[in-house]
Structure 1
Amino acid sequence: MGKDYYKLLGVTRSSSEDEIKRAYKKLALKWHPDKHKDPKTKKQAEEMFKDISEAYDVLSDSEKKKIYDIYGEEGLKGGIPGGAEGMSGGRVGNVRYTTYTGVNPEELFSKIFGKGGHDIFDNMGDFTYTTFGGGEGMGGGSRVSFFDDGPSVGFGGFPGVSPKRSSPTTAPVQVKDYEKDLKVTLEDIFTGVTKKLKVGRWRFDGNRKYSHEKILEIKIRPGWKEGTKISFKGEGDQESPDQPPGNLVFILRVADHKYFSREDNNLVYTHPIKLIECFTGVVFQHTNY
């Protein structure tokens, strides 16, 4: 039997295009080879990254999906009547056939996530958290860019594939970052939380300067660390009519907890004991959290 593209992405035949795209995004970030430094897991990641890329390429294209639903992977790659973009063909007698030749996983990744931020896996470590201990994590002091419809993520390192990067033809416009501390509690970064903040920005209407307010929704993921930066493109002040608005950057600041502190992905509780208890041992309970 051929690959089950629906099972690979965790979707069904009735899933919408947006649901299929969201499933691909989540899995592509999880299985991108650059995220897996251990040789033992890197090979598995390379295979998974290739398979989910192929699955998305087929299921997101109505013609390829139709062929796959009828003939399966074998029919898609082995030759069926008709034709579709991304497929090569030939003739057997008077019958024209086409075969699916696959997709470049790096080019697809770049197409979905954009070509910026090529060092995300180096700078951010793992991308998401589950809990403080033993789960997936993000390195401290990382920057998360909520530009457009998702983080701007780069790519590279897939065997046998040379990533293509376009060279800029014009000098980029310098956009200023406006940084602001965002205070959260230890409980917030343990469970995750969504905060809504009203921000005021300076804007220009021609030469008239005015203040404009907007409510921003900030989703803080479980496990983020002190100093993590969350950026909103174009939500900062506009300094002049000739310049675009700057970016608003929130810097995570974790308030001290009454009982606990955090060390890496561990919760630490300090309890004073007597000298004699160091030799005899002691059992204590603390329930006043």
Structure 2
Amino acid sequence: MGVDYYNILKVGRGATEEELKRSFKKLAMTWHPDKNPINKKEAEAKFKQISEAYDVLSDPQKRQIYDSYGEEGLKSAELSGSSGGAGSYSFNSRNAEDIFAEFLGKSDGRSYGDGFGSQGSKKAQPVETKLACSLEELYKGSRRKMRISRIVPDEFGKPKTVDEILKIDIKPGWKKGTKITFPEKGNHEPGVMPADLIFVVDEKPHAVFKRDGNDLIVKQKISLLDALTGHTRNFTTLDGRTLTIPVMDIVKPGQQVVIPNEGMPVSKEPSKKGKLIIKFDVIFPSRLTAEQKSDLRRVLG
């Protein structure tokens, strides 16, 4: 028989006119392209199929021929006054809008009283969710998989909860406040376009480093002896390397050492990096013996 129009409309072969109308309305409301901007091609095909099925089954003459001879019978039959004209029956995408508009009693298939034909100006407020990232993730980049649950209409227009996995590719150098938008992944309520789902990057505190724009800051306590005589410091970088920093000059309180190109990647130019800034806190001894004071006077005097 080819296409099963009864199955497409989710009705039995003995469906009444009222049952056809009720089922068509639910399915058309669910699959109209204006309600499915993300999967528009799929929705257009489904909407056309639903409208074609209703066009055939709601017309007694077409339905009788279809029941007797199937889809091929419709194509070869002479249906006076049908959309294909005398001699054949054909269906195109424009018919789908015309049928839906006629069904709703409208002259314009794009203007619906149910609130979704003009959804371009009616959309739910965006939903923002924090995406907490470690400095290591923001340094090297990573992929996150986020499971979400949202409410969408089923094929009959009734709300149902669906789970979905969203993949987020975190780019090296992203900063706190960076937004990743998934258009219309919020709940789908009648008469309103679904809200955009927005993940907002947040930075987890780090045990060693603090971020300042593209720079990384690390605070180091050193003894007065090291400050005066020199020392070497080892750091484990955010990508796991060991960085050895020799400091041979005398370190004064509040002094800092700047290491170029060892900070965070620049998001728009990942090959470039900010600075690593080491801030020293010189720890003075709480007391000295008379002998130590004498030695210091002899050496420094």
Same fold (TM over 0.5): no
TM-score, structure 1 normalization: 0.39
Larger of the two Rg values belongs to structure: 2
TM-score, structure 2 normalization: 0.37
